[in-house]
């Protein structure tokens, strides 16, 4: 079976600085594929390239067998490739339900004269409510998004991604800035989402990465230096030397 996401020879440079360099990745449907690496390795640039926020200098991105390399972010979202935390900024003055409903509206292509009209359409609200329930925010639907805790805002951002109809979620450090309880709740959520969604995860919390990931790719100086099952990546001498802070044997 072909991978859901196939990346071949992707690269991006800024002048003489090559930020991503000949990146090749295969992400199978239904897996959590973590991308780790030291600061400055090119991880966020790679997510920008995969999401369509940043145009690549070379290489190809295939999603569900379709070449989406030249598609902008909105075109990729409509095909089911969505980046959480970057798809849209949360609207703090709107309710939690309205934030999710606007994502459903954008996916459906509904036309409203007034921006807030999405919150009054029952069909949009029904789908939005389902996305909120999936992330554990059903009881927060009527609250203003700005009143949520940091961890709850992370949950809402994932709900917004789900409401676009995403098949694959690109998550850039979803645990950043969360406390122990919020981190544990998000880990449980991501583990649950694996049953229905494919996830590409960038995360600095190594305990969470090794607990969640089916496969891990290690990015160092813009290049993938290792890719495989968590146990194999953890044992790789090059990975230990370059990233995990251990000397190679």
From first to last of the 249 residues of the chain, give the pLDDT tens digit: 689 999 999 999 999 999 999 999 999 999 999 999 988 899 999 999 999 999 999 999 999 999 999 999 889 988 999 887 544 468 889 999 999 998 888 776 654 444 445 545 677 789 999 999 999 999 999 999 999 998 999 999 999 999 999 999 999 888 988 888 999 999 999 999 999 999 999 998 889 999 999 999 999 999 999 999 999 998 888 787 766 555 433
Evaluate whether residue 191 is within a structural domain. Answer: no
Coil vs helix vs strand at 127: helix
Q: Are residues 110 and 232 in the same domain?
A: no
Range of the domain at 58: 1-87+166-179+197-249
Domain-located, residue 63? yes
Residues 8 and 80 in one domain: yes
Residues 13 and 79 in one domain: yes
Rg over CA atoms, the chain: 18
Cα separation, 19 vs 48, in Å, equals 12
Beta strands 32-36 and 215-220: pairing type?
A: parallel
């Amino acid at each position: 079976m072909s991978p859901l996401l196939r990346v071949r020879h992707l690269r991006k440079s800024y002048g003489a600085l090559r930020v991503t360099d000949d990146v090749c990745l295969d992400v199978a449907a239904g897996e959590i594929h973590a991308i780790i690496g030291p600061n400055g390795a090119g991880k966020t640039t790679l997510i920008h390239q995969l999401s369509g926020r940043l145009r690549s200098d070379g290489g190809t991105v295939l999603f569900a067998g379709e070449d989406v390399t030249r598609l902008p972010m909105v075109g990729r979202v409509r095909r089911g490739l969505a980046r959480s935390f970057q798809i849209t900024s949360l609207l703090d003055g709107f309710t939690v339900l309205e934030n999710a409903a606007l994502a459903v509206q954008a996916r459906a292509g509904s036309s409203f004269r007034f921006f807030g009209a999405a919150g009054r359409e029952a069909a949009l609200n029904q789908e939005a409510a389902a996305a909120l329930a999936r992330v554990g925010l059903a009881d927060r639907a009527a609250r203003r998004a700005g009143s949520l805790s940091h961890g709850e805002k992370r949950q809402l951002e994932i709900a917004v991604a789900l409401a676009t109809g995403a098949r694959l979620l690109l998550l850039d450090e979803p645990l950043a800035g969360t406390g122990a309880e919020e981190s544990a709740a998000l880990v449980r959520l991501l583990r649950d989402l694996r049953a229905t969604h494919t996830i590409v995860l960038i995360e600095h919390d190594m305990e969470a990465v090794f607990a969640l990931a089916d496969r891990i790719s290690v990015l160092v100086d813009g290049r993938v230096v290792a890719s495989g099952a968590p146990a194999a990546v953890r044992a790789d001498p090059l990975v230990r030397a370059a990233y995990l802070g251990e000397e190679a044997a």
